[in-house]
Amino acid sequence: MSDLVTVLTQKTSLKKEHIQNILKLLDEGSTIPFIARYRKEMTGGASDEILREFETIYLSAKKLLERKEEISRLIEQRAVLSESIKKSIAEADNLRTLENIYRPFKEKKSSRATIAIAKGLSSLANTLQSARLTTTEFQNEAKRFVKKDVTSIQEAIKGAQDILAERYSDQARERETILNSMLRYGVMETKRRKTFNENGVYKNLAPHSEKVAYIPSHRYLAIMRAVKEKEISVKLTVDTDRILENIKCYKIPKNAASSKELLFAAYKDGLKRLLLPSIEREVQNELKEKADLSAITVFGKNLSQLLMTPPVSEMVVLGVDPAFVSGCKLAVIDENGNYLESALIYPTQPKNDYENSKRVVLKLCKKYSVTGVAIGNGTGSRETQEFFAKLNEQESANLKYTVVSEAGASVYSASQLAQDEYPNLDVTIRGAISIAQRLRDPMAALVKIDPKSLGIGQYQHDVDQKLLQKRLHDVTSDLVNRVGVDINSASAALLSHVAGIGPKIANNIVHFRDENGNFTTKSELLKVKGLGKKAYEQAAGFIRIKNTDNIFDNSGIHPESYSIAKQLLKQELNSLNIKELSQTLSTGEETLRDIIKELKKPGFDPREELPIIPFKKGLTDIKMLKEGSFVSGVVRNITDFGAFVDIGLKNDGMIHISKMSEKRVKHPLEVLSLNQYLPQIEVISIDNEKGKVGLSLK
């Protein structure tokens, strides 16, 4: 443990005492959200983001230390664990370096070198490596090995060279040097294959040549997808002439005799046949890991912003799933998200039934006092928006409407979860409900859907799925706990993200609620099957109970601090001396500040501090657009190279990173966020045929 703490002290900005505390809390089964929110004094106030980063470094460091112990043991079993090797293992700061140290000692699969060793040619290889003999002398030496399995001098020499080729390719220092050289100076070349589509999505990727060090992560992922789809081929190259010159200078003994040419040939073979292909795979792995991490980070930030979209409270919402031939599906939900009624209208082509559609919508809106409309952004969205704009203009309907992304709505509609929630409803109606729910409470609705189906991020299906899944789960859990969950209305999907509560206990909570009615106190959670004291400790602070006699139960104050909160209620909250009060109440200053903040704003939702979703009164038709005109829109997706903005058209407009600011922008997330409303964007290009619009914020 001491070694681990030392490594973590070096690799994080946290103090040693805080690191020890965090490790102890994790070992006791505490969750990251709980530690971040309720154990600030023990962590120096580390946020959930810092703790997640710490967790990643911790798991990586733990894995590295465990592998160091394992490799030391294996080398000691198979050879002599010298002091220099011990030192190299101790200094290795990543798994790649560590595996390169271990490489010469690993049990080899059958290879040209292992076959030569089995033939007894190791000592001849040693003689060649010394290069102290002339070529003739070495050939005479090789004669002594012509027996049994070795049929000729040439076979003996070739076997010795094969052994040295593999030894060279296994040397940790050589591997590190050449790998770093390829990462810094190597070039990636792409070529078209016979199946290459000249007008396809990869048309700009081949032929192409670019330094490995400069390849953006999103382009690398695109290239590798094209390789997977067999449209292009890829080759990594490095200056081999320079490496060969270094071999001559540093690997061949200075006083070498004429057999040095045979030695050089062995090293050259080891470089080209064994080392470079192996290094190319390692470089590809490094590039993939880097690209995956970049894409997953962008995805996580997009998801974070999407889930933190402010809810539309105290509004009955009409969800609209637009379509042409099959009609627009309507679903009404109340202020609490409960489904009320559905309908089907045909306001767009081919029927263009405005009168009946108008009658149905106005009847629903009057019956349920609908004031907000959420329209999906799929096929027919623009025409459906025109219908609601016409209703407002001609019928004085006064319906605020906005467009929400319907990505993943169909996935949810057909899921087992949707079937359980709405067993008697058609799949299409479930889709309209999902669209309405996304406006009412985006977080509660979107946690029911696999994040990869939400249409955010980039290349999510190409990256490490296990790593992606963990990141998305962590992001979702941290945000759900930051906001808090109403125990009496939350779905099992939402409850499963609360600290200390997994899917099984979440289902048990819902089952308990169905059988016994609403929870009236947080302590009632202890009656739920499978929810013990530890789970309660972790979850209680993130649970909210509205309309309760105990105001603390509708706050982020943890039950362990209720007695302190009661004492604070007796005092003037705006004139407290935190330092003195902390000593009087034997409570940490950070904890006190959090309790006071909760008492000042009971039931506070942090999403309320963010800009609300803009509602529309009209829209822009692509036929009305021209270069130089200005439009408004909402950011729907952010990638490494740009942002996609909903400006009311079938396809989102695109702002390239180079068009986001007069200043240099390293990443779009520096200047834009998901669901951000942009009041004035310039149209700089229009492709009517493809329905694409280029936009600029400059």
The phi and psi torsions of 589 (rounded to 5 degrees) equal: -65, -40
Q: What is the pLDDT of residue 573?
A: 87
- Give pLDDT tens digits for 310-335: 898 889 999 999 999 999 999 999 99
Q: Which of 49-53, 63-67, 249-253, 606-610 has the lowest mean pLDDT?
A: 606-610
Asked if the peptide bond before residue 207 counts as cis, ω within 30 degrees of 0, the response is yes
What are the phi and psi torsion angles at 374 (to 5°)?
A: -110, 120
What pLDDT, on the 0 to 100 scale, is given for residue 614?
65
Question: Phi and psi for 168 in degrees, rounded to 5?
Answer: -60, -45
Tokens 């935190």 locate to 578
pLDDT score of 361 more than 90: yes
Comparing C-alpha atoms, which of 659, 652, 657 is closest to residue 640? 657
Tens digit of pLDDT for each residue in 343-355?
Answer: 999 999 999 999 9
Which tens digit of pLDDT belongs to each residue from 510-537?
999 999 999 999 999 999 999 999 999 9
Mean pLDDT of 420-428: 94
From CA 402, how far away is CA 315, in angstroms rounded?
Answer: 13
Answer CATH for 112-186+238-299 from 3.40.640.10, 1.10.1370.30, 1.10.3500.10, 3.40.630.10 = 1.10.3500.10
pLDDT attached to residue 35: 98
- Residues whose CB falls within 8 Å of the CB of residue 86, separated by 6 or more in sequence, listed in order: 72
What pLDDT was estimated at residue 108?
84
Q: pLDDT per residue over 375-392, tens digit each?
A: 998 888 888 988 998 999
Please tell me the CATH superfamily of domain 485-550, with its number. Tex RuvX-like domain-like (1.10.150.310)
- For residue 3, what pLDDT is reported? 86
Hey, which bits of 365-438 come out as E strands? Answer: 372-376, 400-404
CA-to-CA distance for 693 and 651, rounded, in angstroms? 8
> At residue 208, what are phi and psi to the nearest 5 degrees?
-155, 145
Q: Provide the pairing of β-strand 328-333 with 339-345.
A: antiparallel
pLDDT band at 615 (very low <50, low <70, confident <90, very high): low
pLDDT at 239: 95
What whole-number distance in Å separates Cα of residue 42 and Cα of residue 40? 5
Among left, alpha and beta (phi > 0; psi -120 to 50; other), residue 624 is: alpha
| pLDDT tens column, 135-161 | 999 999 999 999 989 999 999 999 999
Find the mean pLDDT for residues 91-118.
93
CA–CA gap between residue 588 and residue 441 (Å, rounded)? 34
Q: Say if residue 309's pLDDT is above 80.
A: yes
**DSSP H or E run through 653:** strand 653-656
pLDDT given for residue 612 in this prediction: 61
- The arithmetic mean of pLDDT across residues 116-140, rounded, is 96
- Residue-wise pLDDT tens digits, 646-671: 887 777 899 999 999 989 999 999 99
Looking at residue 340, what is its pLDDT?
97
DSSP code, position 560? G
- The rounded mean pLDDT for the chain is 93
Just give the CATH number of 622-696.
2.40.50.140
d(CA 178, CA 280): 10
Under 8 Å CB-to-CB from 384, ≥6 apart: which residues? 320, 322, 328, 347, 348, 375
pLDDT above 90 for 176: yes
Dist CA 140 CA 133 (whole Å): 10
Is the pLDDT score of 552 beyond 80? Answer: yes
Mean pLDDT along residues 398-410: 88
Number of other CB atoms surrounding residue 608 within 10 Å: 11
Alpha helices, DSSP H, located in 457-551: 465-483, 492-495, 503-516, 533-539
Nearest to 443 by CA among 402, 477, 413: 477
Q: Which two tokens stand for residue 9?
A: 């002290």
In degrees and rounded to multiples of 5, residue 61 shows phi and psi of: -65, -40
What does each C-alpha distance from 227 to 195, 204, 218, 222, 235 come to in angstroms? 11, 14, 14, 9, 11
CATH fold of the domain at 2-105: Arc Repressor Mutant, subunit A (1.10.10)
Task: Identify the three-state secondary structure at position 329.
Answer: strand
Judge whether residue 405 has pLDDT over 90. Answer: no
Backbone angles phi, psi at 207, to 5 degrees: -75, 145
For the chain, the structural domain boundaries read: 2-105, 112-186+238-299, 317-472, 485-550, 557-602, 622-696
Task: Give the list of residues 6+ apart from residue 109 with CB closer than 8 angstroms, or none.
Answer: none
Instruction: Give the mean pLDDT of 582-589.
Output: 93
pLDDT (tens digit per residue) in 442-458: 999 999 998 888 888 87
For the cut 90, the answer to whether the pLDDT of residue 369 exceeds it is yes
CA-CA distance, 273 to 283, in Å (whole number)? 16
Eight-state DSSP code of residue 312: -
For residue 610, what pLDDT is reported? 61
Q: Which two tokens stand for residue 570?
A: 């007796």
pLDDT at 620 over 80: no
pLDDT tens digit string along 47-83?
Answer: 999 999 999 999 999 999 999 999 999 999 988 899 9
Amino acid 616: pLDDT: 59
Q: Which residue has the higher pLDDT, 389 or 45?
A: 45
Arithmetic mean of pLDDT, 175-198: 95
Exposure on the CB side of residue 329, measured as CA atoms within 13 A: 22
Instruction: Tell whether omega for the bond before 350 is within 30 degrees of 0, i.e. cis.
Output: yes
Instruction: Average the pLDDT over 114-137 and give the result.
Output: 96
Instruction: Please report which residue ranges of 1-93 form alpha helices under DSSP H.
Output: 2-11, 16-27, 32-38, 40-43, 48-78, 83-91
Cβ–Cβ contacts within 10 Å for residue 633, how many? Answer: 26
Compute the radius of gyration of the chain from its Cα atoms.
33
Does residue 423 have a pLDDT over 90?
yes
First to last CA, the chain: 53
Please give the Cα distance from 564 to 157 (Å, whole number). Answer: 84
Predicted confidence (pLDDT) at residue 619 exceeds the cutoff of 70: no
CA atoms of 433 and 406, how far apart (whole Å)? 11
Q: Is the pLDDT confidence value at 180 over 90?
A: yes
**Does residue 437 carry a pLDDT above 70?**
yes
**C-alpha–C-alpha distance, residues 37 and 48, integer Å:** 8
The topology under which CATH files domain 317-472 is Nucleotidyltransferase; domain 5 (3.30.420)
Cα–Cα distance list, 554 to 111, 155, 558 (Å): 69, 83, 10
